[in-house]
Amino acid sequence: MGILQNFADAVHGEAELFVPGTEGSKSLMLANAMYLSSCQKRMVELPESLDEELIFEDAFEEEFRKKH
């Protein structure tokens, strides 16, 4: 409940987020990297730039479509 209240307070400009959205993006990228690595049965490198991130996301989405 505390995290949800913090989010609501932040939306209303009454508080700073406990965890910024950039941290959520990093967590999602890490989870996608683990999934992609598992599907491709190889190590993958996390992207360092926006261009690399878009290529990485395309590869992840292609693997996901193959499985579903």
| pTM attached to this predicted model | 0.62
Please give the pLDDT value at position 53: 81
**Helices then strands (H, E): number in the chain?**
3, 0
Distance (Å, rounded) from C-alpha 1 to C-alpha 14?
17
Provide the residue ranges of all domains of the chain, joining segments of one domain with +: 2-67
66: number of CA atoms within 13 Å, CB side? 10
Tens digit of pLDDT at every position of the chain (68 positions): 898 999 999 999 999 998 888 888 888 888 888 988 998 899 998 888 778 888 888 888 888 888 87
